Structure 1
Amino acid sequence: MNCNMAQAEQYDSDSSSEPESDINDNSESEDTDGEINCQEFSDRDDGRKITPCKYYNKGNCQAGDSCHYAHVCMYALSGNCRYGLQCKLKHPKGQKAAPTARQQSSDQRHPKLTDGRFYQWQLNDGNGWRDIDNDHVIEAQFSLPHTKSIKIYNTPYGAVTIDFTKMRIYGKDLKVRRLDDGNTVWMWYCILHRGWVKYGDKDSKGNSGPIKSSDIERKFQSNPASSFTFTVGANTFEIRFREMRQMGKKRKRKVARRPLYRQQQAGAAVPQAASAFQNMSLGKKPQWQFEGKGGTWHTFKNRPECPVSSDDIEMKYQQNQSSMAFKVNGQPYKLDFTAMTQLNLTTKHKRKVRRVLI
């Protein structure tokens, strides 16, 4: 029986003209279901419940003081508002503020967060943090700006979906986090012409952009609650870190911050203690597949017209190659391990590929 190890979801490409409020956007609702979860939270000594106003949290409640729902930050009520004391919304009195974005960023730069590995993805089911085995698959997808989530199979909890935008688990009582060794190179991207473009990349004419990811990251590290302003010709643009938006005179565009992918070092320390997640990908043989018509997946097999097999691709993948080239019926192809795509270099037709465990 086929059993996928991971399946990644992608962002919608074009959101350059979508309306946006100036209020804090904790929800990133345009990348989820467009609705704010208005579950009830306890915020009273007598144990009675209050329900936060979803329109207030979106910044457009018309009822004002006559609203029957509480005008408080719904994320502060649940104890996970990422803006802390800098939040523009009202927080309940006496509640301990969550760490600010600057504090979180400072924590992630701490060189002792990991055990020596470049990164560590971990889950917590209430009994402490445990490493996710073979987390390079998660990291590879997290490094792609268009990937908003990844679905992992073969865990003791069934299929687990990690939301990269909010760093949470969909629909399960689990927590997720990514530890960092402090040396990650962060890349910044913006949606342009229905696709994600890295700041500083060359355009079709060979001209580099006016700013680089390192310029933006330097400002972000100094103050994640601020913004970065730059000019292109006579036009001025502002990247607002809180909203993850590039603001122009006429358009607003999504912005993404993702790590430059690094394959873990050979022989890096790996905890030997038994983990509830070690069975995620052990005892299975990896196979490489490409997506055909109708969303049907086909395994790479060595045929007269196609000299490359799933094992050939896996060998290249294990060698930490970023891509591999091959021909099918004389047509040149490129398989990109980072983007997980197969590109016909002649026709420019692109297909999705995946690595599954059978």
Structure 2
Amino acid sequence: MSGYSHEIQLATSFLCSSSGSLPLLDLHRKLLQCCHITKEEFRFIVQRCPRFQLVRGPGPAGGSGPEVCSVLAKTSLRLCSGYGWEQCSGSGCCPQLHLCKFFVYGNCRFGKGRKPCKFSHDIYSDHNFRLLRECTLQQLDAEQLFVLLLQNDPALLPEVCVHYNKGGPRGGCTFQESCTKLHLCQHFVQGDCMYGLNCKRQHTINQHSRRMLEERGLSGDIIHELPVICRNIHHLTSTATEKLPDSLCQTDERKEICLHFTRNSCRFQNECRRVHFYLPYKWEVLVGVTWTDLQHMENIERDFCDPSNTQSCGDPPVDFLTMTQASRPIRRLSTVSSVTKPPHYILTTEWLWYYRRDQGSWVEYGQPDEKQRTTSVTSRTLEEKFLSDRTTEVKVVKGQRRYVVSFKDMYQRNPKHNTKRRVCRRPRFVSVAEV
């Protein structure tokens, strides 16, 4: 997926500038205006990249028109709840953004007046920019980032009132005007309200909900967009993933280096569908519409294999987080993962999995840490599970503590203390001499 970082960043920007979602074909057309991307590449990105979720239903603006396949923007990034209560100083390795919640709502009264707000309004502070860069979201402006957070962070917006959607036309909510949840038609939010304009329940934000939202600090612009955001939230929390329409379902050959060619035994020769290269890895830069080999490939690979490196040492460096070099997209091709082949296959790619310690260093799964403690799973175990299902979660035990590794957002979570550590997947280095 790293080879398409430029396209992923563009698509994210388009989605966040359109209330968090776009019809699939509209997103494809927008991308075609900015970059050269085939239908196969677009299909691969929206289906496999954890940044996006496909859903079928009304378009982003809702309504009773025909159903379309839409793309929604996702992220695991959240606002730090402790920071808002001055319980998190902003130092260390907190994996959540340190921002004023009312700044995200677009209505912080301190930020607009003479008295400065005691909470950060800087999305590019050292702490925040590090997190944005790790999630490859640093290209978003403030408004785009806020849309992304609002539809993904469950702590930011109130839920739709369940009781309002039960009983008679006015619903069964006994709190009425004092209710702190949204009085919206649940079926409208789900996109399946059969009554349309004749529905007895609200399809827009009424005066009661508007007052409640304004008291919470939400700006008028966000309140206006809230029905769309609520619909996106509903789809993002649903488990079903939509398939692409037939117009975009074409075969997509993986850009994989041919193992047989590295041993001078490929019988297909020029007809081979895999890439023929003398190394088990290949670094390329996109120049115009052509992928071109990078110089000093071995040095780039050596730097990439070290999880503590976020860029190579060359000039200009390759940014491993955004997979760019001087704003040009970069991609890395490789042979198949070693876990998919028997041990006697040579020059397969051995992927190693790491978690980051509080001090910032990285420890490989299955290897002892500074206290000689090891995890219950190894790199090989994680790689096997990752290739079988890239959306699953893996339970990990280290000492007396239990964790969950999420492939979707590449974090290791401690469910008991609700803390997170970054997880990284990097290959084992193979030199030209070894090949």
Q: Which has the higher contact order (CA 8 A, sep 6+)?
A: 1
Q: Which has the larger radius of gyration?
A: 2
Higher strand share: 1
